[in-house]
Amino acid sequence: MERFLGLIISSAVITAILLVPFIDFLYRIKLRRANQTTKDIFNKRTPIFDKYNAWKVGTPFGGGILIVLIVTIWTFWAYGVFNTRVVPWELFVIFFSFISFGLLGFYDDFKKLVGGSEGFFGLRFRYKFIIQIILALIISTVFYFQLGYDFIFIHGFGQLPLGFLFVPFGALVIVSFVNAFNITDGLDGLASGLFFICLAAFLVINSAQIDESLGMFISVMMGSVMAFLYFNIYKARIWLGDVGSLSLGAALAVIGLLTGKVLALVVIGGVFVIEAGSSLIQLLGKKYLGRKIFPAAPLHLYLQKRGWEEPKIVMRAWLAGFFLAILGIFVAFIR
């Protein structure tokens, strides 16, 4: 545990030192949106979201780039310095998911920057979703064939054998949390703060399982996200961008799968699940019923429409996240 705490501290210090010049650099290269006009997956405008977020135009959105770089480099440095025993295929699923989804997010961020609508830069949501599925299937296939994951553990029922069905199941978990994180990342500090809480919970769970390489990855990421959160809370000086939201969402899903605590993952990441669920219900209502189910979605946008101030929503979401993290740890340890 001392090693994990040391990595949290060192990662936080490094990220904090680099963030200030990095933010200045993003302003200089103008890596920020020039206007606040967003569209949903049906390519329709979202006026409610634009109304409450128009004042944020000009804030740079490349924070995820720095987090991915620092976490990747510092984790491998730590493995070498501490002579950590690693499982090659475990490292593959961790860093392939972390980096590949980050690169997909980078495409989205770059498209916002250049404003492309045709050709490669006009790749529709359905095609990006297909790419997510392909990446997730690659990861879950490695889980099944190389790491031997072919069951899930349900408390009270024991091991539930899935066999080859673990591959689509794992892909579903990964794609779901990638998009849930992306949906939740709509208010300053909301997704990053919740993610930090989730990491703390899984560090506790992992410490009981003694997977040192995974624990070191979680610790480095905790420190980096902690430092980032200082600059991301209301009023944010920097956002994660899709690089961050997609890579961190994938990392959270893979951490849950590696620990074998998928049910605990759903509980610990409960706010992400609720946010994504409300958005999914709204989209299904629009497509199949031709009307909205909620006045606004996801949940945080509905609360804004109700008159809640942004910091109030974020703070209460963090409190809910803390409670769910404790509940999730309890679920992970009960027999």
Give the pLDDT confidence score for residue 38 in this predicted structure.
65
Gyration radius of the chain over CA positions:
19
Average pLDDT per 10 consecutive residues for the chain, totaling 335 residues = 94 97 91 64 63 78 95 97 94 98 89 55 75 97 96 79 95 98 96 98 93 97 98 94 96 96 96 97 90 93 94 98 97 84
Look at residues 82, 256, 259, 121 and name the one whose alpha carbon lies nearest to residue 178: 256
Residue-averaged pLDDT of the chain = 90
Give the pLDDT confidence score for residue 300 in this predicted structure.
96
The dihedral built from the CA positions of residue 181, 187, 188 and 190, taken in this order, carries a sign that is negative
What are the structure tokens assigned to 298, written together? 């996801």
Angle at the Cα of 17 (from 4 to 194), degrees rounded to 5? 55
Look at residues 332, 202, 177 and name the one whose alpha carbon lies nearest to residue 253: 177
Quick one: angle between helices 212-232 and 190-209, nearest 10?
A: 160
Give the pLDDT confidence score for residue 110 in this predicted structure.
78
Instruction: Give the number of residues written for the chain.
Output: 335
pLDDT, tens only, 5-23? 999 999 999 999 999 999 9
DSSP H helical segments within 39-118, as ranges?
A: 47-53, 63-81, 88-114
Quick one: angle between helices 190-209 and 241-259, nearest 10?
A: 20
Q: How far apart are alpha carbons 191 and 83 in whole angstroms?
A: 33
Give the pLDDT confidence score for residue 121 in this predicted structure.
45
Q: How far apart are alpha carbons 301 and 159 in whole angstroms?
A: 39
Give the pLDDT confidence score for residue 190 in this predicted structure.
98
pLDDT, tens only, 286-299? 888 889 999 999 99
Give the pLDDT confidence score for residue 44 in this predicted structure.
59
Amino acid at residue number 313: I
Amino acid at residue number 307: G
Distance (Å) of CA 173 to CA 17, 168, 191, 253: 34, 9, 18, 6
Which pTM value belongs to this model?
0.94
Look at residues 167, 132, 161, 133 and name the one whose alpha carbon lies nearest to residue 147: 167
Q: How far apart are alpha carbons 272 and 57 in whole angstroms?
A: 25
Q: How much helix, strand and coil, in percent to the nearest 5, is found in the chain? A: 75, 5, 20
Give the pLDDT confidence score for residue 155 in this predicted structure.
72
